[in-house]
Structure 1
């Protein structure tokens, strides 16, 4: 479970990104985070994996206040959280296989288990046949699927996706959403910040809408609610 209690985030330049956020996301939920640019979506989700820490208030994951974590504890938190970025953040000189394997190598997983697990997740995202390709040899959609494989290879309890379809064509975006639904169906909590009206309105899930750093709407099977 993820819980925020009266969370505020003010950056060093004086910009207030979040003002009094309080919400709960239960284990296994699929949640869209929507809102116009500058609404606070990215700050909201970055708090969940300790990329940012609150200026005030509490961010709890499974009843642990992660805002008070020491720096050395953060890597252990992130073992249970997979993060997917709009710009993929793949290592350009590593193959698809090596990019995914890296997530297990840093936690010193058994090499035999690494090979089996990496090939399993590449198969899951439809890229087993391109395991030896480097990112430059892959399309944008294929790179995003490698990023998804990297995020789920450690069987995280939470997957956080920040605008994961923002740079993709519509057909590829639907393929990515199919993968996300399959991941969520295994019991993984999935939180996705998005600007895609079509996706939110077609694949109905919980919607948290943000404006000016506040939650203004929280609906089960909600709609996007903003004009393109």
Structure 2
């Protein structure tokens, strides 16, 4: 599903974000990626959907060789991957439903099919009653649910969540976590980078810990650590 072989990432300013990463994440897993700020977590997950490219090494996601892909093939990769960000990244001028539909419009899906898919995922995230609200009319938790719906609308095999609870209060963070678990139960692989110690320690799943660009711990039913 996701494999990295001796992956390194050095930025143009000389900073090395990742060093010698070797990892395999199987279909249907739920994985937390943890570590201090600046450890390389965001770079690690960005490589999976080719927002960054490795300096060295190979990355495979759902059969795609990430580094050797031609630019025109990247949209095909991203149809298989949903991404949820800490800051939602919703388009403020569009309604919740329109934000979700946008991901399907860019691949020219028929309108009738778009309406059906949008209605289905908005129901899944519990926001059928807020389809016509704009982002500024939604709470932070509701905006994140819309972002999750947008990430899911293509039926991705992998959902990557980069600090999805970072801007949310504790109660809302748990709501988003339960939603991600529900999605995982439906068969989607979930990779979640997080600083949320309570969630990681309570919902014990696989934990990949990164420090100074290296994987220092990879545990089934792991904990956040020190």
TM-score (norm 2): 0.99
> Is 2:174 the partner of 1:165?
no
Distance 1:55 1:17 in 2: 10
Which residue pairs with 1:117 in the alignment? 117
Query: What's the offset of the Cα at 1:120?
Result: 1.1
Which residue pairs with 2:134 in the alignment? 134
Distance 2:42 2:62 in 1: 21
Q: How does 1:1-228 map to 2 (within 5 A)?
A: 1-226=1-226
Cα pair 2:64 2:77 within 8 Å, conserved: no
Query: What's the offset of the Cα at 1:64?
Result: 2.9
Distance 1:171 1:150 in 2: 22
Which sits farther off after the overlay, 64-73 or 142-151?
A: 64-73
Q: What SS class does the counterpart of residue 33 from structure 1 fall into?
A: strand
Distance 1:14 1:67 in 2: 20
Q: What SS class does the counterpart of residue 191 from structure 2 fall into?
A: strand
Distance 2:35 2:76 in 1: 31
Distance 1:113 1:15 in 2: 45
Q: What SS class does the counterpart of residue 68 from structure 1 fall into?
A: coil
Query: What's the offset of the Cα at 1:62?
Result: 3.0
Query: What's the offset of the Cα at 1:204?
Result: 1.0
Runs of at least 5 residues in structure 2 that lack an aligned partner in the other structure: none
Residues 172-221 of structure 1 show CA distances to partners (whole Å, capped at 9, x for unaligned) of 11110111011001110000000001000111110000000000000000
Distance 2:105 2:161 in 1: 22
Distance 2:2 2:151 in 1: 18
Residues 102-149 of structure 1 show CA distances to partners (whole Å, capped at 9, x for unaligned) of 111111112111111101111111111010011011111100000000
Q: Once superposed, what is the RMSD of the aligned Cα atoms? A: 0.7
Q: What SS class does the counterpart of residue 192 from structure 2 fall into?
A: strand
Distance 2:58 2:85 in 1: 24
Alignment: residue pair count: 226
Runs of at least 5 residues in structure 1 that lack an aligned partner in the other structure: none
Distance 2:63 2:78 in 1: 16
Distance 2:15 2:222 in 1: 29
Cα pair 2:34 2:208 within 8 Å, conserved: yes
